[in-house]
Chains A and B, each alone.
Chain A
C-alpha cells in the first residue's frame, strides 16, 4: 500500500477534479451565460496548469519519479481503483490540454444552438472528464466506464445542432457505440475469467508468469482482439471508419476538433497501453507469416497479432481516408476523411513497433506514432476550428459557396495554410518530424511496401489540401465571403495554434525527449507494475490459488 496520498501522488487526480468541479459548477450556473463561460475558461486554464504540473513533477523534472499512482480511497492496488500517471498518459493529457483550452476560448465566441446552450459547457467538461479518466485509469473496467462518460457527452454533441440529419447521424453513432460497449464488456469479462484480475498492472504481472498464477494465457489473444476492435472503432480505423464523416459533420466544429484531436487519441492510447504495457509479456507462442514486413513475426507474446491487424487496418485507413478526402465538397467533409487517413499514419508505426523484435526499433516506432499523434492533434484541431470560423463568418463550409477567403481574411488563410502544410509534412512544422519519423521507422523495419503506402498517403494529402485551398481560399469572392465578418478572437486562437505547430517544429528537441519518455513509459511494464504495486491476492489469503481458477 502506498503512503498517505500527498505530493505527486495527489497530483495525478488533479486534472480530473478540475473538470469534474467545472462540469458540476457550470451546470449550476445554468442561467448565467457570462459566468458560465468565465468559469469554463478558468477551469480550462486550471486543467492546463494541472497537466503541466504532472508533466513537470512526474515526468520531465530532473529528479522526477517518471510515474505516480493514486489509489482511490487508499485501497491497495488490485482491489481498489487505481489512477496512474506516467510519461505516456502525460503526453496524451498535454495534447488534450492544449487543444481543450483553444477549443474553450473558441467556444466562448461562437456557441451553436438556442436553448441547449445552457448544457454546452457542462457537456464539454464531461467530455474532457471522460478523456482524462481514460488516460489515467489503471483498471480495465474503469477504462470502460470512462469511455462511456466520454461517449455520452459526445452523443449529445453529435445530436446538438438539432437538424434531421444530425439526429440521424447521432442515432447511428449511438447504435454503433452501444454495440462496441457490449463487445468491450465481453472482452473485459473474458479477461477477468481468464486471469482473475482487471487491474492493468496485476494483469501484466500475471500474464508474464502464467504458471505461477495457474492461468492459461492463450485465450487472452482472442480477448485482446475483441478489445482492439473496440479501440479501433474509437480511433476510426478502417473498417470501423464509416461513422466518422456523418458524426464529424453533425457535431459543432469546435467539438469536432476535440473528437478528432482528443477522443480519437483515446483509442490510440488504449491500443498502445494495453498492447505494450499490459499484454506484451503474455507467454503465447506465435508463428505468423506477414509478407509486408521483413521482420521476424515469431515471438512469445500476442504483439505480432496486434501488429498484423493494425497493418491491415492502417493500410485501409490511409487509402480510404485519402481517396475519400479528395472527392468531398465541403471543408469539414475533407477534414473528416483526412482524419481517417491520418489515424492510419499513427497506426502504421504502432504496427511496426508491435512486430519489431529489436527493442530499439520498437521504442523508436512508438516515438514516431506519438509525435505524429501530436502533430495530428495540433493540425487537425486548428483546421476544424478554422472550419468553425469560416462557418460562423459565412454561414457555410461548402466549396460551392466559398472562394477568395484568402483576400477576405489573410490571418485566417495563413493559419489554415500552416495547418495544411503541417498535414502534408513540410519543414520546419511539427508535421515534418511526424512524417519523417514514421518514414524512418518504416525504413528501419525494412518494410518497402509500407513506405510505398506512406508515399501514396502523403501524395493524397497534398492533393486534397491543395484542392481545398484552391476552392475556398483563392479565386473570386463569393457573396457569402463578401458579407463575412471574421471573429478576431477565433482567428487569434487559430494563430496561437499555428504558432504552436511552428514552435513544435522549430524547437523539436524537447518534444522528442518528451515523446521518448512517453515511449519508454509505454514499454516499461516492470516499472508500471512496481509503481502500482498490486499486492498478490494469495498474500492476503495465505493460499496459492489466485482468482483464475474458477
Chain B
C-alpha cells in the first residue's frame, strides 16, 4: 500500500512539475524545475526500500558492533540530503537569474524574451 501511494505521489509530482515547466511564465518554469527535482528526491528516497531495513540491506551497520537496530537504509538518505542541498542552491540561483531576466527584459513571458537582442 505504501509503495502504491509513494509511486502515485512521485508520478503526480513529475506531472505537476512538467506542466509548470511548459508554462510561459519564467517563475512557473523555475517552480516546475524545483518540483521535478523534489520528485526525483522522493523517488530516490523510496529506492532505499520502504520496509524497515535489516543488517542485510544496510551492510555498513554490520561493521560496527554486534547490535544492528531496525532502520531504514541510511545510504539513500545521505544521497537525498546531498541532492536536496544542491537542488535548493540551484533553485535559488535560477530564481535570481529569472529576476535578472525580468530586470533586463521587463517581462517574464517566455515568448516575448526572444524579441530583444
Contacts and interface: CB of A to CB of B under 8 A. Distances in A.
A168 interface: yes
A188 B79 contact: yes
Given A164-B104, A174-B94, A179-B36, A537 B59 contact: yes
Mostly helix, strand, loop or mixed at chain A's interface?
helix
Contacts of B79: 141, 188-189, 192
Interface of A: 78-79, 141, 144-145, 148, 152, 155, 159, 163-165, 167-168, 170-171, 174-175, 178-179, 181-183, 185-186, 188-190, 192-193, 196, 198, 537-538, 540-541, 543, 545, 547, 549-550
B116 interface: yes
Given A78-B59, A182-B36, A182-B37, 11 more contacts: A159-B100, A167-B104, A168-B113, A178-B37, A181-B37, A185-B41, A188-B44, A189-B47, A192-B79, A198-B75, A545-B56
A175 B86 contact: no
- Ordered nearest first, which 4 A-B pairs have the shortest CB separation? A550-B49, A537-B59, A193-B47, A164-B104
A537 B59 CA distance: 6
Given A190-B47, A192-B47, A540-B63, A550 B73 contact: yes
Interface string B7-39: 000000000000001000010011001001101
16 contacts: A79-B60, A141-B82, A144-B83, A159-B97, A164-B104, A164-B105, A167-B101, A167-B104, A171-B94, A174-B90, A178-B87, A181-B40, A192-B48, A541-B55, A550-B48, A550-B53
A144 B79 CA distance: 10
B49 A179 contact: no
A169 to B, nearest CB: 10
A175 B90 CA distance: 9
A186 to B, nearest CB: 6
Given A167-B101, A189-B44, A545-B56, A175 B94 contact: yes
Interface string B85-107: 01101110110011011001100
Mostly helix, strand, loop or mixed at chain B's interface?
helix
A187 to B, nearest CB: 10
B39 A182 contact: yes
B66 to A, nearest CB: 12
Contacts of B21: 175, 179
Residue of A144, A183, A541, A543 with most chain B CB atoms under a 10 A cut-off: A541
Interface in B53-82: 53, 55-57, 59-60, 62-63, 73, 75-76, 79, 82
A167 B59 contact: no
A339 B43 CA distance: 35
B33 A178 contact: yes
Contact of B116 (A164, A192, A538): A164
Contacts of B49: 193, 550
B77 to A, nearest CB: 12
A110 to B, nearest CB: 24
Contact of B90 (A181, A196, A537, A545): A181
Residue of B53, B83, B93 with most chain A CB atoms under a 10 A cut-off: B83
A185 B86 CA distance: 12
